[in-house]
Amino acid sequence: MAVTVKTFASASEAAGVLSSDRSARYLGGGTLVMRALNEGDVSISTVVRASDQALTRIDASGPRITLGAGVTFARVLAERDLAFLHTPARSIGGPAVRNMGTVGGNLFAPSPYGDFTVALLALDATVAVAGGFGSRDIPIEEFLQARERQAGTLVLSVSCTRPANSDAFRYRKIARIKPKGGSVITLAAHLPISGGRIAGARIALGSMAPTQIRARAAERALEGRSLDAATIAAAASAATEGTSPSDNALGSAWYRREIVGVHLRRLLSGQE
């Protein structure tokens, strides 16, 4: 079925149409929306695009970085100042998918995809969205919890604070096929250290619930402690708390629960 394609020069015009038309979907890199159209998704009758330059802007010079929603993973990888995001960006797709897929689109990618969002959740990113109400900033966790209702909003950008050093932010994606494959589970950890102790730990998990979630019990086990073997063991044993993984072709819910603690322990101990 043919759809109507509407292209706007400004993001706010595109956002206006998205919020007023329930059958409209925003087309970013195409890896989600074109796939849905190829599969004959009749719920989409309008495709909205915006050629707004602001959507592809990268601001990576300061301590707080901002990525336009239309920034591709290939561009993240080409940016030396975004080195802390290179591992998650590289874990997505093959080169063609990284040339197309965008940071904003990844926020909507259902499990077993959406790995970059796991990294952003651990980094406590802020999502700037525009809707019929104007634009506002939403904490990424809140955005993800209401993701089913976000189809009518246009993501403008995501921003987060640069981790203090390469040890403070860690990422690990478990896939059956290497170097490319859908996620069995994905883990990211932000571990700011203050006076030798962890202050403000954030652990994010992908494919352990319908959306990317935080492992709050594991975070509590880390908070205020030094990253020693006992602390790591306590965090690893708390990793499944609050999770609700499901079965799919890449792994069963049981298997995901079995391995999440193992991989969290390896991530926190700096093992390969």
Partner 1 sequence: MSKIPLQFRHNGRDVAIFVDGGTNLLVALRELIGDMTPKFGCGQGGCGTCSVLVDGELHLSCLTLAETVAGRSVETLDGMKQGPSLHPLQRAFADNFAAQCGYCTPGMLMAAKALLDRNPSPSRDEVIEAISGNICRCTGYEPIINAILAAASGRVSA
Query: Is residue 96 part of the contact set for partner 1 (CB under 8 A)?
Result: yes
Query: Is residue 244 part of the contact set for partner 1 (CB under 8 A)?
Result: no
Measure the CA–CA gap between 187 and 25, rounded to whole angstroms.
Answer: 29
Q: In sequence order, what are the beta bridge partners of 259?
A: none
Give the nearer residue to partner 1 in terms of CB position, either 103 or 235: 103
Give the nearer residue to partner 1 in terms of CB position, either 24 or 121: 24
Measure the CA–CA gap between 140 and 121, rounded to whole angstroms.
Answer: 6
H/E segment holding residue 216? helix 216-222
Query: Is residue 131 part of the contact set for partner 1 (CB under 8 A)?
Result: no
In the window 150-209, what residues touch partner 1 (CB under 8 A)?
Answer: 179-180
User: Out of 70, 93, 114, 245, which residue is the one contacting partner 1 (CB under 8 A)?
Assistant: 93
Sign of the torsion formed by the C-alpha atoms of 122, 126, 130 and 132: positive
Give the nearer residue to partner 1 in terms of CB position, either 109 or 232: 109
Block residue for tokens 């990284």: 98
Query: Is residue 27 part of the contact set for partner 1 (CB under 8 A)?
Result: yes
Burial class (CB in 10 A: 0-12, 13-18, 19+), 56: middle
User: Out of 7, 53, 166, 226, which residue is the one contacting partner 1 (CB under 8 A)?
Assistant: 7
One symbol per residue from 70 to 89: x for binding partner 1 (CB under 8 A), - otherwise; what is it? Answer: ----x---------------
